[in-house]
Amino acid sequence: MELNAILIDDELDCLSVLDIELKRHCPAIHVVDRCNSAKAGLIAIKKHKPDLIFLDINMPHITGLELIEMIPDGDYQVIFTTAYDNYAVRAFKTCAVDYLLKPIKKDELKSAVDSVIRNKSIKFQNNLEFVAHQVDATKRNSVKKIILPSLEGYIFLQLQEIVACESDENYTRVYTQDGEKVFIKKPLKFLEEILCEGDFMRIHKSYIVNLNKIKKYVKVDGGYVIMDNDLKINISRIKKDEFTEYVENY
């Protein structure tokens, strides 16, 4: 499958580097235009009707998110290229949207492109309103729902539904309060970056817990917690001081 792509970034060196890296590592991507402003990007999108748009967020005059709202509905996907703040990065991670953090790494670029090819049938346009909402919500630290890639597609989860997350190599097993176990096609580190600025804590290299779902903390045997669903999770030695401080200051 060959996908036509447009690159939009106000930094010319970033455009050049991305173009070179795509030619080198992603032969399925055919770059039909490179634009150094949102205005030029809008014209190019209407002209070429690309399959894929690589879009910088923080551009002068018109931001990447504002540009997306100007584009007519179409069968295209977007990969954000951004040096944006952590709050916004968390927002994009919670959506069915790919992003690349500058400076872009080869493996992350290949992974994002592979994801686009696999999910070509999913319309990005359907997620625009949610993306904008998530950006605002994460800045207010008030995200209540996240969207995560599962084995079957995407799963919508209220944060309060999540009891714990367990690492399973390159996947994550999410335990919910109704007893369900959901496999997420992302490593635990991915969930940590989304969740652990709020009511969640990584208490072990293999576990993140919802601090509001802890039923019991036992100090013996190295220390462990019992969750509301009776799941027992050990606290690692390097995380014990952090967790103990949380308990004492609760």
Q: pLDDT value at position 125?
A: 45
Inter-CA distances, 47 with 6, 59, 80, 106, 156, Å: 11, 21, 20, 29, 35
Query: What is the separation, in whole angstroms, between the first and last Cα of the chain?
Result: 54
Kind of pairing between the strands at 98-101 and 232-234: unpaired
Kindly report whether the peptide bond that precedes residue 103 is cis, defined as omega within 30 degrees of 0.
Answer: yes
Residue 90 has pLDDT above 70, yes or no: no
Task: Answer yes or no: CATH 3.40.50.2300 is held by domain 3-139.
Answer: yes
> pLDDT tier at 133 (50, 70, 90 boundaries)?
low
pLDDT for position 89? 59
Can you name the residues that pair with 53 across neighbouring β-strands? 6, 78
Beta bridge partners of 98: 79
Measured distance CA(172)–CA(70) in Å, rounded:
36
What confidence tier does 96 reach under pLDDT thresholds 50, 70, 90? Answer: very low
156-165 per-position pLDDT tens digit: 888 889 999 9
pLDDT at 130 over 70: no
Cα-based angle 75, 80, 85 (whole degrees, multiple of 5): 150
Report pTM. 0.54
> Is the pLDDT at 38 greater than 80, yes or no?
yes
* Mean of all residue pLDDT scores within the chain: 83
Separation between Cα atoms, residue 65 and residue 58, nearest integer Å: 9
Structural domain boundaries in the chain: 3-139, 145-248
pLDDT of residue 88: 57
Cβ-Cβ contacts under 8 Å for 23 (sequence gap 6 or more): 31
CATH superfamily of 145-248: LytTr DNA-binding domain (2.40.50.1020)
